Amino acid sequence: MKKSPAAILRFHGVRGSRPVHDPHNLIYGGNSTCIEFDTGSNYSIVVDGGSGLQNLSALKSVNPQRKKLHILITHTHWDHVLMLPFLRQLESSDFEIHFYAPDVAGVPFKDIFHDLMKPGRLPIPKPSIKANLSFNKVTPGKTFIIEGKVKVVGFQVNHQHITLGYKISYESSVAAIIPDIASIEGGNLLGESFTEQAISIGVKKFEKNYQRQLIKFLEDVPNVVFDTHFNQENLKADWGHATPEFAMDICSKANVKRLFMFHHAPEDLDHDIAKKQMVAQRLAVQLGMDVINAREEDEWPLTAA
Amino acid sequence: MATNCRMKFHGVRAFHSVPGRRNIAFGGNTSCIEICDDSSHIFINAGFGLNQALPNWLNDHKSRKDRFHCAILFSDLFWDSILGLPFFAPIHFKSSHLELFTSASKSQIEDALNDMSSNLLTPFNGIESFPSKLSIHGSTTKKQWGQWTIMALPLLHPLAPYPLAAWRLTHTSGIDLGFVMISSPDEHALALIATFLEGAKTLVCAASNGPHQDVWSQDRTTFDDALKLGLLVGANDLYLSQFHPEMTDIHLQSELRKLSEKLPKLCGDPSRISIHLASEVESFISLSTQARAKAG
């Protein structure tokens, strides 16, 4: 008998930079980053609170039994947090929302979250927060457990400030989500404290170490969601994003079996994204890897490797 | 008089973006309207709709390198009216000049834009980090912009510790436009706006109520308020915009039907006013054609 998967990966928002509505991007969707790791339990785990968060079933009447939401924040750029102040559940006393995020430039995520609701900025009456909120600081490399069963560990990737990729494990299901990330090669040091570390041990050595650690972080993870905002023609490395080629290079070295390309550029229409997959597929065949464009509303059972 | 004046809705949503299939007919980007003639560009608000404007600008700019100059008039400084600005291609070029107008003071708009583009929330570090020239004009009341005269009416609103603005744009050709992107629905505010915009032939007004009563829209004008205002102003064309994110295509069409049914009761001659739902899908609306058609 075929064993049913322990968890499901569900894409609620797959765009980078900003949400975009366009009649020509309805196949892949226009909401910014939000990915659900669904264990089928009475709580929800999502990575990031971009505009895709509005599609989470736990926030709608279709799934009223889920009153507990765990939100892992990769970093605090707008496309990853802009839906948070609009969460209607903030005002519900029978809802629990637990945030997990690193401090950014020494500022705790809690302060950044409350600043999103500053008077005169939020276009709705400031929520009177009745939900039970908790703010949990994430330290890269330090594993933490959600609901006693879901293991999560963060890894600082090469993007502005502190940006974390997350590896999430539940029973036999494992997935990693690598949000905004750029190649570090050529001294493209974007992450907080990367320059200082590189100065202390030498840039080349730091780049090599970082790359090795990134590959180790992803080693044998069967399902990886990876930033592929750019392509080879329009790559701007200092913007902090990757290409399918970079994603495939890292993932093949880490023995990843299934790569989801996401953080699609807002300018890319459906046909651009489809073309990106066609180009990637040629290389993927040689590498023995499945390469799939992440698409809003798609869900993928996370089978074991 | 041929003016080539035109208007395009790039973002028709209030509060937050709602990309997706349920909003195909009218759109899901936050607030932005483009108004232009042959020599000038004006935007009302800089929500994410702003990023749908000038789709070929970057390519054209690479080949022609011409200087871009525009005015952006803000109705308010809420996130849904300003968040498109850091992603607007011209702001990243030294040769661009963006002039920003509000009823709020210069320091209030600077604070809002610096919050929006802080290095915690963006890859930038405040408005100083944008290469383009930004001229910030606070407390705007009247301004000449090419052949347009721009006027602002400051409005108080319970959510804002600064004045919001209703805008009136009149063109030397006689085109006369009113924009009420956000306002309290109370009688006093509506009467003030009606006086300010009296005679404007085209009115764009927020219709921000949701399908159900909710706190988000309690301080906003509804579809009914917008129609009332359109009639008070004496507009020939009323464009409803700033839709609540939960209002799908189906809801919006239903609201329009309801308004059309109410119209004969509200005014003896329903042909006095044409009611339209603002749509991001529609191309530029030719304002000169409209003005001539009405005059005829």
Q: Cα separation of A19 and B88, whole Å?
A: 13
Q: How many Å lie between the alpha carbon of A23 and the closest alpha carbon of chain B?
A: 6
A94-143: pLDDT as tens digits: 899 999 999 999 999 999 999 999 999 999 998 889 999 999 999 999 99
CA dihedral A113, A118, A120, A124 (to 10 degrees): 50
Q: What is the pLDDT of residue B40?
A: 92
Q: How many Å lie between the alpha carbon of B108 and the closest alpha carbon of chain A?
A: 10
* Residue of chain B minimizing CA distance to A120: B160
- Length of chain A in residues, anyone? 305
pTM of the model: 0.95
Q: Which residues of A touch B123 (CB under 8 A)?
A: 77, 160, 239-240
Closest in B17, B119, B159 to A125, CB measured: B159
Q: What is the pLDDT of residue B295?
A: 41
* Subunit contact B120:A83, Cβ cutoff 8 A: no
Q: Cα separation of A2 and A8, whole Å?
A: 16
What average pLDDT score do residues B199-219 get?
Answer: 94
* Residue of chain A minimizing CA distance to B12: A21
* Subunit contact B52:A81, Cβ cutoff 8 A: no
Task: Considering only residues B294 and B95, tell me which one the structure prediction assigns the higher pLDDT.
Answer: B95
Q: How many Å lie between the alpha carbon of B91 and the closest alpha carbon of chain A?
A: 15
Q: Cα separation of A20 and A263, whole Å?
A: 12
Q: Residues 175 to 214 of B: which have CB under 8 A from any A CB?
A: 182
Q: Residue B232 above 70 pLDDT?
A: yes
Q: Is the ipTM of this complex over 0.85?
A: yes
Tokens of B138: 């606070």
Q: Residue B183 above 90 pLDDT?
A: yes
Q: Cα separation of B82 and B75, whole Å?
A: 10
Task: Considering only residues B175 and A303, tell me which one the structure prediction assigns the higher pLDDT.
Answer: B175
CA A287 to each of CA A218, A263, B38, B100, B165: distance values in angstroms, whole numbers, following the listed order: 16, 22, 54, 51, 58
Q: How many Å lie between the alpha carbon of B211 and the closest alpha carbon of chain A?
A: 15
CA A172 to each of CA A3, A152, A175, A208: distance values in angstroms, whole numbers, following the listed order: 10, 14, 10, 31
Q: What is the pLDDT of residue A2?
A: 55
What average pLDDT score do residues B88-98 get?
Answer: 95
Tokens of B233: 């102003």
Q: Residue B258 above 70 pLDDT?
A: yes
Quickly count: other Cβ atoms within 10 Å of residue A119's Cβ. Answer: 10
- Give just the sign of the alpha carbon dihedral A118, A121, A122, A123: positive
Q: What is the pLDDT of residue A191?
A: 93
Q: What is the pLDDT of residue B296?
A: 35
User: Worst-scoring range by mean pLDDT, A60-64, B88-92, B217-221, B235-239?
Assistant: A60-64
Q: How much of chain B, in percent, has pLDDT values that exceed 90? A: 87
Q: How many Å lie between the alpha carbon of A49 and the closest alpha carbon of chain B?
A: 13
**Res. B290 pLDDT band, cuts 50 70 90:** low
What single-letter DSSP state applies at residue A15? B
Q: How much of chain A, in percent, has pLDDT values that exceed 70? A: 96
- Domains of chain B (ranges, CATH numbers): 6-295 (3.60.15.10)
* Residue of chain B minimizing CA distance to A239: B123
- The residues, ordered by sequence, that sit 6+ positions from B115 with a Cβ below 8 Å of its Cβ are A115, A118, A121, B121
* Residue of chain A minimizing CA distance to B123: A160
Q: Which residues of A touch B77 (CB under 8 A)?
A: 120-121
Q: What is the pLDDT of residue B144?
A: 97
**Res. B204 pLDDT band, cuts 50 70 90:** very high
Counted across chains A and B, CB pairs separated by less than 8 A come out at: 121
- Each residue's pLDDT expressed in tens, for chain A with a length of 305 residues: 556 678 999 999 999 999 999 999 999 999 999 999 999 999 999 999 999 999 997 777 656 677 899 999 999 999 999 999 999 889 889 899 999 999 999 999 999 999 999 999 999 998 889 999 999 999 999 999 999 999 999 999 999 999 999 999 999 999 999 999 999 999 999 999 999 999 999 999 999 999 999 999 999 999 999 999 999 889 998 899 999 999 999 999 999 999 999 999 999 999 999 999 999 999 999 999 999 999 999 999 997 65
CA A196 to each of CA A9, A159, A215: distance values in angstroms, whole numbers, following the listed order: 36, 15, 22
Tokens of A132: 């039970």
B291, B21 in Cβ contact below 8 A? no
What does pLDDT average to over chain B?
93
**Res. B69 pLDDT band, cuts 50 70 90:** very high
Ramachandran angles phi, psi of A132, nearest 5°: -80, 105
B16, B30 in Cβ contact below 8 A? yes
Top residue of A53, A104, A121 to mutate, by most chain B CBs within 10 Å, is A121
- Domains of chain A (ranges, CATH numbers): 8-301 (3.60.15.10)
* Subunit contact A123:B77, Cβ cutoff 8 A: no
Q: What is the pLDDT of residue B56?
A: 81
Q: Cα separation of A218 and B267, whole Å?
A: 68
Quickly count: other Cβ atoms within 10 Å of residue A213's Cβ. Answer: 14
B132-161: pLDDT as tens digits: 999 999 999 999 999 999 999 999 999 999
Coil, helix or strand at residue B239: strand
Coil, helix or strand at residue A62: coil
**Res. B292 pLDDT band, cuts 50 70 90:** very low
What single-letter DSSP state applies at residue B281? S
Q: What is the pLDDT of residue A147?
A: 97
Q: Which residues of A touch B15 (CB under 8 A)?
A: 86, 123-124
Q: How many Å lie between the alpha carbon of B135 and the closest alpha carbon of chain A?
A: 21
Q: Which residues of A touch B52 (CB under 8 A)?
A: 20, 22
Q: Which residues of B touch A118 (CB under 8 A)?
A: 115
* Subunit contact A124:B216, Cβ cutoff 8 A: yes
Coil, helix or strand at residue A209: helix
- Give just the sign of the alpha carbon dihedral B230, B233, B236, B239: negative
Q: Residue B88 above 70 pLDDT?
A: yes
Provide the b/e sequence for A162-196 (b: ≥16 CB within 10 Å): bbbbbbbbbeebbbbbbbbbbbbeeeebbbbebee
Q: How many Å lie between the alpha carbon of B158 and the closest alpha carbon of chain A?
A: 9
Q: Cα separation of A232 and A247, whole Å?
A: 12
Q: Residue B294 above 50 pLDDT?
A: no
Q: Residue B293 above 70 pLDDT?
A: no
Q: Return the bridge partners of A290, or none.
A: A258
List residues of chain A with CB under 8 Å from any CB of chain B: 15, 17-23, 25-26, 29-31, 51, 54, 76-78, 81-83, 86, 104-105, 107, 112, 115-116, 118-125, 160-161, 239-240, 266, 296
* Subunit contact B19:A51, Cβ cutoff 8 A: yes
Q: How many Å lie between the alpha carbon of B43 and the closest alpha carbon of chain A?
A: 18
* Residue of chain B minimizing CA distance to A128: B215
